[in-house]
Amino acid sequence: MTNASLNLTTAVIAPPRPRALRNETEINKLSKRLYRLVGQAIADFRMIEEGDKIMVCVSGGKDSYGMLDILLGLQARAPVGFELIAVNIDQGHPGFPQDTLPNYLQAQGVSFYIENQDTYSIVKRVIPEGDTMCSLCSRLRRGIIYRLADELGCSKIALGHHRDDIIETFFLNLFFGGSLKAMPPKLTSDDGRHVVIRPLAYVEEADLVSWSIHKQFPIIPCDLCGSQDNLQRQQIKLMLQQWERQNPGRMESIFKALSNAKPSHLLDPKLIQP
């Protein structure tokens, strides 16, 4: 991997190309694929159980909209009963369209809660101008999410990370963190009080783009923090896009590898059998 391959000043990170939805047949195929993959992930990792109250974190992006939409569909047909509540954190970003999400959620007939917390001002005060803000913003948001889960009586917290996010996180940790780890589809917090689930773990981002276009979700722009083109995640995304163009199917192979780990063949002494 050369520096040139990760030069974001000369390369453009294109959004995933949506799957073509030319007719009802294509729409039905995509719908079945999404429900099958989400249902499979839920079953494989026992994400949802009878009586769960699930806090669905909705940011206004295509991924969280898609997650909520599919979970609502599964709720109507699942063999177990569970409750959904959509939660959004208004973090005080300038220009954030405050009516967009409430209007959409009301139209869907889903229970929701909007939390107003001005973390934007904190991040702008603490992070020097030009540095990436995502790390601190993410930590602040996580603390709010855990608190809200307790206050709302939720047994699970659903996040909208998809297959591509998981692969990107793996390479972020590999290249920049010196560790072999990704995003687990199901995670219990360190204190054991909260369970985080990622129902979209098996879903490709391109399918979510297509579903978002088909469903006409009212997308809220993700550039409210300003330009963050120097993010390491953007570098990884560009690298993976280049790999996939040069070797179609590589992303699928990488994801399959993450589901086929051989701990005994790694170099961590803690994994060696006595």
Structural domains in the chain plus CATH codes: 22-163+181-222 (3.40.50.620)
Let me know the angle formed at the C-alpha of 208 by 195 and 91, rounded to the nearest 5 degrees.
55
| Pairing relationship of beta strands 83-90 and 156-158 according to DSSP bridges | unpaired
Listed in sequence order, the DSSP H helices in the chain are 24-44, 62-77, 100-108, 119-126, 134-151, 163-172, 205-215, 232-246, 250-258
| Pairing relationship of beta strands 186-188 and 195-197 according to DSSP bridges | antiparallel
For 215-229, what is the mean pLDDT? Answer: 71
Output the pLDDT for position 139: 80
Q: Tell me what the pLDDT averaged over the chain comes to.
A: 87
Find out whether 181 and 168 touch, Cβ atoms under 8 Å. no
Find out whether 201 and 243 touch, Cβ atoms under 8 Å. no
pLDDT at residue 7 greater than cutoff 90: no
For 206-228, what is the mean pLDDT? Answer: 81
Torsion of CA 135, 241, 184, 226, to 10 degrees: 20
Q: Give the number of C-alpha atoms closer than 13 A to the C-alpha of residue 125, restricted to the C-beta side.
A: 5
Let me know the angle formed at the C-alpha of 169 by 204 and 8, rounded to the nearest 5 degrees.
90
232 burial (CB, 10 Å; 0-12 / 13-18 / 19+) is: middle
Output the pLDDT for position 5: 42
Judged by average pLDDT, the poorest of 10-14, 58-62, 77-81, 240-244 is 10-14
Output the pLDDT for position 197: 98
pLDDT digits (tens, 9 = 90+) for 94-152: 778 889 999 999 999 999 999 988 877 777 777 777 666 677 777 888 899 999 999 99
Cα separation, 131 vs 158, in Å, equals 29
pTM of the model: 0.87
Joined together, the tokens standing for residue 3 give: 């520096």
Strand partners, 196: 157, 187
Ramachandran sector of residue 128 (left: φ over 0; alpha: ψ -120 to 50; beta: rest): beta
